[in-house]
Structure 1
Amino acid sequence: MKLCIVTHSLIKGDGQGRVNYEVAWEAIRRGHHVTVLASKIAPELEKHSSINWVPISAKVPTELMRNMVFAYKSTNWLKKHRDRLDLVKVNGAITWANSDVNAVHFVHNSWLKFSKLEATPAAKKTIFNPYLFLYNSYQLLYTKLNTRWEKQAFDNTKIVVAVSDKVAEDLQEIGVPQKAIRVISNGVDIEEFSPGNGVSRQTWNLPDGVPLAMFVGDIRLPRKNLDTVLKALVEVPDLHLAVVGVTDGSPYPQLAKSLGINDRVHFLGFRRDVPSLMKAVDFFVFPSRYEPFGLVITEAMATGLPVITAGCTGAAPLITPEAGIVLPNPDDIKAIASAMQKLSVNPDLRSNMGRTAREIALQNTWKNMAQQYVDLFEEIN
């Protein structure tokens, strides 16, 4: 089979890029030839004899403009070469050309419910932040345009792959027929993210001898729900929290200070050593208000960490009561505080939950995910 994958990147470094990276390798292992339309590709794939990389350059200032340039160039290439391909896999509204499989990681129509800074009463910011206002305004425009483009892309494909049951529901809300939807969950790297002992917290200037939770996400906007976690932390006086995320333009360092917990909240900024950092904490807390999947959840599980999350995250169905705590309402401060208190004072419970979380992650590897994609390609080709 001559497969074409259209993606901005085919590398391990980001979620969508990693999905396509693993799918490409699985297709090659089965003897298929893969053409890749991408701006970036991993060197090991670029050099492979079964890979044909078509570079799509889009060097313009904003993500919105880059996406438009990429869509224009990839569409023109596909129009010229479509008759030489057996199957085309794309991602969302990445191109305006027709496809056979469209893998959906995020439905922008659903994100519109959460796009304003005051998406919920609990998300109201306390201090006007010009950077945050401009960032949010740009994201709102970007989302509205993608809502229209995505619907067109889903109408112009045969099969739409959702990364979670939640995304499948979001797709049906905008009119994608249920019979056209398949669910293939994202995988996790069980070697990069694995349990470990002896990792010193001093590497990150984190305190020893205290229970330590971890939060990872974009902390410039309220969607990830760090504000509720911080308010809940007030009620768990012995617990410390390590926060990974870009702090420039974020209101949450100031919120932690105003709540009187800044000595227990450790803002670490953007990090590339998250796999190691996860080995140094006791559990993971991530009650996102809207999360199509939440790769960071399965990464924490693979590390052997209990997870506290909300039912509105796409990965929540993977978390059994033996592996973590799934809350019905992400804005319930008392419920989050109770869950964090329960895990902070019960090391044996954390250990048992962590082992179960790791076992679940072992059943959801990148290899398993890639096999499901290529099985689908062979089925419909």
Structure 2
Amino acid sequence: MKHFRLALVRQKYRPDGGAERFISRALEALENQDLELNVITRQWQGEVKAGWQVHICDPWKFGRISRERGFANAARQLWQKEDFDLVQSHERIPGCDIFRAGDGVHRRWLEERSRVLPGWKSKQLFADRYHRYVMQAEQQMYAAPELKAVICNAEMVKKEIITEFGVPEDKIYVIYNAIDSQRYLPPSEAERHALRVKHQIPTDATCLIYVGSGFERKGLDAAIKAIAPTDRHLLVVGQDKDEKRYRTLSASLGCANRVHFFGMQTSTQDFYQMADGLLLPTLYDPFPNVILEAMACGLPVITTPTCGGAEFITAGVNGYVCDALDIEGLRAAVMALPKQALGSIEGERAREKIIDCSPQKLSSQLISLYWSLIK
């Protein structure tokens, strides 16, 4: 095996982001391979591991379009100058060898988002210059002759890319995200009890957890409405500038005492371990890591058909799949989950389903893809 140089492109590297966790799990798993790892980014947060090369690429910007276009041009110049063996971009930049479609297809997201907007606003969405720029960049990237492979984290996204851009099926690889199932574990009875006491959650309540920043897209509105007339609690982990609006919604529906806002958390295990199920009525999500994390902690999951994570859910076995706007359906699913996840057959089946998604499997899939492309 010859030594080869791989470049990963991610504009803003945030340790808690889904794409970043994919990159860092991949990088850790790839460390023992004979390759040099390069990251091209505008800003890097967190430590730089030995052997990684970080290239800061931070051109001047004013506004969203100039931010995207400026980074795309500067990153492309840098990788052409460095002449890496493979360039894997997590941003829509024409000219990369591999694109990881972690955000799915932009038009599909806009279509789902417009379902919750008044008509005039949804027209505005598709006319918006920034969204038009993103869709155009995506189109150009999929059409670029340099593109050798696309990595998706769900079959749902693979189908969308084929339909929307006509990319040949044999260029698209579905590689599910990895989860460290020895770190994310179901709690013991005592641990669960202690966590509830610590966070002031009634020890005998049935609690659903919602995890994610960007409350509109991930469906917090629907989650609150679904639990409002029940006796279930909702643990909200994540941040959003509109948090006040969701607090007001809980108060107006009379469930403010059962909706607990915990803000952004650097470590989420504790919160999964005191919950009884994940409720994620997301409008559009290729495959959020939180689904794997929750299932690893033995939680059944309620999500939507426009979430790639639905591919892991069998109704009544380890969770339920309902439309993001079907409040009645979501509520029925909430009530159908076991009152306590710990010790339930649904919780055990949830964990069994993700055991295969190991970092080792992810890295072997990536390595074989990289070598096949280099050859």
Q: C-alpha distance in 1, partners of 2:135/2:37?
A: 29
Identity, in percent, stands at: 25
1:12 Cα offset (Å): 4.6
Find the counterpart in structure 1 of residue 366 from structure 2: 373
Q: Could you give the per-residue CA deviations for residues 114-171 of structure 1, whole angstroms, max 9, x where no partner exists? A: 344xx24xx77xxxxxxxx9xx979965433211111111222111111111111221
Aligned counterpart in structure 1 of residue 156 of structure 2, from 139, 154, 166: 166
- Whole-angstrom CA distance in 1 between matches of 2:256 and 2:287: 30
Aligned residue for 1:294? 288
The Cα shift of 1:309 comes to 1.4
The aligned runs of 1:120-159 (5 Å cut-off) are: 120=116, 141-156=129-144, 157-159=147-149
1:16 equivalent to 2:24? Answer no
Taking structure 2 as the reference length, the TM-score comes to 0.85
Match 1:196 to one of 187, 208, 223: 187
Distance 1:160 1:18, change over 3 A: same
Matched, 1:208 2:198: no
Q: What residue in structure 2 maps to residue 127 of structure 1? A: none
Residue pairs, 1:207-226, within 5 angstroms: 207-221=202-216, 223-226=217-220
Selected match of 1:36 from 34, 39, 62: 39
Q: CA offsets, 1:232-259, max 9 Å, x none?
A: 21342x2111112325324322221111
1:191 is displaced (CA, Å) by 3.4
Partner SS, residue 8 of structure 2: strand
Q: Which moved more, 1:54-63 or 1:205-214?
A: 54-63
Counterpart amino acid of residue 362 in structure 1: I
Match of 2:352 in 1: 359
Alpha-carbon distance in structure 2 between the residues aligned to 1:367 and 1:60: 39
Q: Distance in 2 between matches of 1:140 and 1:279?
A: 42
- Runs of 4+ aligned residues of structure 1 deviating over 6 Å after TM superposition are 136-139
Alpha carbons 1:19, 1:366 under 8 Å: kept: no
1:103 corresponds to: 100
1:340 corresponds, among 317, 330, 334, to 334
CA distance in 1, matches of 2:199, 2:183: 19
Provide the C-alpha distance between the structure 1 equivalents of 2:197 and 2:61, rounded to a whole number of angstroms: 41
Residue by residue over 1:191-238, the C-alpha shift from the partner in whole angstroms, topping out at 9 and shown as x without a partner, is 3322223142233332222111111223542x32222222221342x2
Task: Look up the equivalent residue of 2:256 and give its one-letter code.
Answer: N
CA contact 1:161–1:181 (8 Å) conserved in 2: yes
Aligned to 1:249: 242
CA deviation map 1:37-76 (0-9, x unaligned): 233275352x22xx33322235757665443332222111
SS of equivalent to 2:198:
helix
State the one-letter code of the partner of 2:57: I
Q: Is the contact made by 1:311 and 1:326 (CA closer than 8 Å) also made in structure 2?
A: no
Note the 1:225-304 alignment, pairs <5 A: 225-236=219-230, 238-250=231-243, 251-304=245-298
Distance 1:202 1:137, change over 3 A: farther
Corresponding residue SS for 1:317: helix
Cα gap change, 1:92 to 1:171, in 2 (>3 Å): farther
Indicate the residue corresponding to 2:70 in structure 1: 69
3-state SS of 1:268 partner: strand
Distance (Å, rounded) in 2 between the aligned partners of 1:188 and 1:23: 11
Unmatched segments (≥5 aa) in structure 2: none
Deviations 1:242-298 (A, max 9, x none): 112325324322221111111211122222232211111111111212111121111
Counterpart AA for 2:150: V
Alpha carbons of 1:268 and 1:377: their partners in 2 closer, same or farther (altered >3 Å)? same
**Alpha-carbon RMSD:** 2.8
Contact 1:7 1:37 in 2 (8 A): yes
Query: Contact (CA 8 Å) 1:225, 1:288: kept in 2 or not?
Result: yes
Among 310, 328, 337, the residue aligned to 1:316: 310
Deviations 1:289-347 (A, max 9, x none): 211112111110011111111222101111234652222423222222122112254x3
Aligned length: 357
CA–CA distance in structure 2, aligned partners of residues 73 and 230 of structure 1: 43
Distance 1:361 1:57, change over 3 A: same
Given residue 249 of structure 1, which amino acid in structure 2 is its aligned partner?
D
Q: 1:184 aligns with which of 165, 175, 190?
A: 175
Decide whether aligned partners of structure 1 residues 11 and 379 sit closer, same or farther in structure 2, where only a CA change above 3 A counts. Answer: farther
| CA spacing shift, 1:191–1:42, aligned 2, 3 Å | farther
Matches within 5 A, 1:83-102: 85-93=84-92, 95-96=93-94, 98-102=95-99
Q: Secondary structure at the match of 2:96?
A: coil
Matched residues in 2 for 1:247 and 1:71: separation? 27
Q: 1:114 touches 1:290 (CA, 8 Å); kept in 2?
A: yes
Q: Counterpart of 1:154 in structure 2: which amino acid?
A: Y
Distance in 1 (alpha carbons) for counterparts of 2:186 and 2:342? 16
Contact 2:338 2:344 in 1 (8 A): no
Secondary structure of residue in 1 paired with 2:278: strand
